[in-house]
Amino acid sequence: MHAKALVIMLLLAATAIGVVVSAPTARSGTLINSQLVEETGATAALGGGDHVFVRFGDDAAFGVVYGTTANPNNIYIVAIEARYLGVAQVFDQANTSVATNRPIKIYTLYALKLDSLIEFRDGNGNNIADYARAYNSTTGGFTDYYARLTDTLYKKVDLRTNWTRSPIVEANGTTYRNWTFSLSAQNLTYAPVANYTGSVAGVLPLVRFTFHLNASLEQVDNASVPQWRVTVGTVGGNTVVTDISRMANLTGISGKVVHYDLKWDQDIEGWTFAAGNAAGARRRILVEFGAVVGNLIPAAIVDAWFQSRVMARMGETGWAQFTTAGGTSTANDTTRYLTVQRLASPNLDFTGNSTRIADLVWVGTSTVDGVAQPVFGEVVGGFRLTAIGERGNAFVGFVLLAGLSFRGGASIIHDPTVTTDIQADLQLPTTPGAGGALFVVAAVAALVIAIALIVAVIVMRRRKRETPPPPPPGS
């Protein structure tokens, strides 16, 4: 079994009966932070290693997965959510009510992978790395580097390694509970990229990420839930969705709101720069990361019509949103760029139309050799991730390649943050027929979905070939 496939069983099964909806209209809740639980220990998720999570019951989890001596791996910042797309009022084609207050629920995984550190020379002076990479759907990772325009890529340090974790220090504030720990790696080797043939001698003495995980939990009694009118019919003896339209929100709903934010201080010490990469503003280091957003659709609501129209019509398949000099842009599974996109604001948001997935934000300045220097974000492109299981379950999403560009120096310090809000433990009005099987997935069924999806990911990845990047302009 491929190790990457285990993320579905180990992470999504953990949220088997969780519920998440859009942000409430009011956030004047009562703090109940004592119900947040720290979880640590070995894991096989996302390639394996160890993990530190903060979770609320089985509804939501947030934290870090990282490699160990026994199982080297990258660092992943992970958010696991069960999202409500809303509540359905279901009618047949004769306009007869079939069921009321049916939750439309999907499970979403967000994972930010700290992939590599890349040395490059900014030949055109735009402060970002102009390059592309191929994506290998069999292994679930990005592969070769292709330099573009006038930039030169020299070498990289792969952050897939054994990380040493410091003790976890827990603190309780007036609003949040906080967990602080660091992950460090020493004497990491260099590897050439983009046909670089120069020396890769030496090692990187130290890379350290210090994480500050803050979490709070509130009881909220005035949430607003998207509401949909769903029409069903019968085709070939099977019940299918034939139409869907938005209704007024369902208001006055009680639930719990989980807020997570994970800030990390990244410290890169002692990089050995290539002989031809002279000191100055154009000598740069890129912290490269990949972001995965995937939605698990339960088999009971997976059919060709739903996949192709309903998720898109609701605007809830998920996408990344960011700002460039040309305005607001989005990226998803079909995004390809002839040139890398430089971000004009220090944030990269992952969202649906009514539900939020996660936000990546960062301070616009770093400290390089004791001097404040600007940080520049970039998006390289997105690639589709799709798998269909033997029982009809679907995992649909995208992988986004992006990074943060820093001026090169002997010491580079910076502090990004990932945040998310999750509304859980929703208390819907109970009415006759509200607990039927059309949209509700029980805990046992969720475990079956996870197992089927493991098979799906392996089979679909084996069928796909490596996806090359688009050609450089003028080629």
Q: What is the pLDDT of residues 73-101, one digit of tens each?
A: 999 998 877 666 678 888 888 999 988 88
Indicate the pTM of the whole model.
0.77
Q: What are the residues facing 402 on neighbouring strands?
A: 289, 379
Residue 74 is encoded by which pair of tokens?
């990258």
Contact 131, 153 (CB under 8 A): yes
Residue 367 confidence (pLDDT) above 80: yes
- Other residues' Cβ atoms within 10 Å of the Cβ of residue 216: 20
Q: Alpha carbon 57 to chain centroid distance?
A: 21
Q: What is the pLDDT of residues 38-67, one digit of tens each?
A: 899 998 888 889 999 988 766 678 899 999
Residue with tokens 């999570």: 53
Q: What is the CA radius of gyration of the chain?
A: 23
> Helices in 230-366 by DSSP H: which ranges?
304-305, 311-314
Residue 432 is encoded by which pair of tokens?
């006759």
Strand ranges (DSSP E) for 7-123? 30-31, 36-43, 49-56, 60-66, 75-92, 97-121
Residue 198 is encoded by which pair of tokens?
């120069």
Dihedral sign from CA coordinates of 164, 167, 168, 173: negative
- Residue with the bigger pLDDT between 211 and 240: it is 211
The pLDDT value recorded for residue 19 is 27
> Please, what is the average pLDDT of the chain?
75
CB-based burial of residue 422 (10 Å sphere; 0-12 exposed, 13-18 middle, 19+ buried)? buried
The pLDDT value recorded for residue 18 is 26
Residue 438 confidence (pLDDT) above 80: no
Phi and psi torsions of 255, nearest 5°: -175, -170
In whole angstroms, give the CA distance from residue 328 to residue 322: 6
Residue 192 is encoded by which pair of tokens?
């050439």
In whole angstroms, give the CA distance from residue 164 to residue 16: 32
How many residues would you count in the chain? 475
Lowest mean pLDDT among 53-62, 98-107, 398-407, 418-427: 418-427
- Residue with the bigger pLDDT between 172 and 207: it is 207
Give me the percent of the chain exceeding a pLDDT of 70: 69
The arithmetic mean of pLDDT across residues 335-362, rounded, is: 77
CA distances 392 to 16, 140, 389, 456, Å, are 18, 22, 5, 10
The pLDDT value recorded for residue 428 is 67
- Cα 107–Cα 108–Cα 112 angle in degrees, nearest 5: 155
Residue 237 confidence (pLDDT) above 80: no
In whole angstroms, give the CA distance from residue 160 to residue 18: 32
